[in-house]
Chain A
Amino acid sequence: MRIGVVTFPGSLDDGDAARAARIAGAEAVRLWHGDPDLHGVDAVVLPGGFSYGDYLRCGAIARFAPVMESIIDAARGGLPVLGICNGFQVLCEAHLLPGALTRNQHLHFRNRDQWLKVEATNTAWTNGFTPGQEILIPVKNGEGCFVADPATLDKLEAEGRVIARYVRGNPNGSQRDIAGITNEAGNVVGIMPHPEHAVEALTGPSLDGLGFFTSVLRALAGAAAGGQLAGGQQ
């Protein structure tokens, strides 16, 4: 399986995301922001960082990169896409996910290991977890406060589209402690903390992040065997 990792000008975590994909057992394929060719990848990760300097709004300019036009089309067709941190912001700006990420409520950049509770496990990127499982992965953001209007938040909750919530402390003021969400089909997931930084004992606080990458491989293997993508309709 080939997992593409996009590099925008200002991406920081593309190397770690590619490494996490390899540790999970995938072939990591580097994708360039200016190249609309997805090189036949089976899934895509939009990594963390400060694409285009975070000018205007985080993710607002990256959303118009040539590679994003292809990813937006492919995501609507079912391609699994995971946006981490800045990648989550890009997915919201691209309207593949609802809501927006705004300045942390307390204005401070937060960099710490963060406990999350996994909720929706019927997505392409979370099917390897159990509902209610608590995981520990790093969070590091200045603009990670998830906001949406009350109707959108209610819809996300009613449809079981919150994939993880902050527990033991909300690091950025996100509404309803939301750390990550999925689209209706379950193939597009955005998460503010960084699973790619928690994939081996030497460098991470846990191995919990690996579950996102092994989940998508399992979803793809299921799809290849003729089953529906694990992140398909409920």
Chain B
Amino acid sequence: MARVVVDVMLKPEILDPQGQAVANALPRLGVTDVSSVRIGRRIEIEFDGEPDLDRAREIADKLLANPVIEDYTIRVESAAEVA
């Protein structure tokens, strides 16, 4: 299977209130050694044929990430990972 994985994260300087809410909940689980939690989004794209990183990058630039507030990383998932 030809799968490209795009991980989208808020830029470091953008406040992540969801991550903060999760971080603030951790002490209730007894976890007290976590200094920061940030939440992003993982997107899996499956192509009909070979994974096309350039096409995936174009999709990410245009739609999947908003460059004003988000960064993304992109990679082809290995067969071992897919399995």
Q: Closest CB of chain B to A62's CB: distance in Å?
A: 12
A102 touches B64 (CB 8 A): no
**Interface of B, helix, strand, loop or mixed by DSSP:** loop
A99 contact from B13, B15, B68, Cβ within 8 A: B68
A60 touches B63 (CB 8 A): yes
Q: Which residue of A lies closest to B15 (CB)?
A: A105
Query: Tally of A-B residue pairs with Cβ under 8 A?
Result: 35
When A107-B18, A147-B14 are in contact, do A102 and B69 touch as well, CB less than 8 Å?
A: yes
B66 lies within 8 A of chain A by Cβ = yes
A100 touches B69 (CB 8 A): yes
Residues of B contacting A173 in the complex (Cβ-Cβ under 8 angstroms): 15
Q: Closest CB of chain A to B65's CB: distance in Å?
A: 9
A57 lies within 8 A of chain B by Cβ = yes
Residues of B contacting A99 in the complex (Cβ-Cβ under 8 angstroms): 68
**Chain A interface: which size bin?**
20 to 34
Instruction: Report A136-157 residues with CB < 8 Å from chain B CB.
Output: 145, 147-149
Residues of A contacting B66 in the complex (Cβ-Cβ under 8 angstroms): 57, 60, 93, 100
How far, in whole Å, are A130 and B13 apart by their CA atoms in the complex? Answer: 35
A92 lies within 8 A of chain B by Cβ = yes
A106 lies within 8 A of chain B by Cβ = yes
The 9 A-B pairs with the shortest beta carbon distances in the complex, nearest first, are A100-B68, A100-B69, A107-B17, A103-B17, A105-B17, A100-B66, A57-B66, A107-B21, A147-B14
Contacts A102-B15, A107-B18, A149-B13 known; list 16 others, CB within 8 Å. A56-B63, A60-B63, A61-B63, A98-B68, A100-B69, A102-B14, A102-B69, A104-B17, A105-B15, A106-B17, A107-B17, A107-B21, A145-B15, A147-B14, A147-B68, A147-B69
Q: Which residues of B pack against A, CB within 8 Å?
A: 13-15, 17-18, 21, 63-64, 66, 68-69
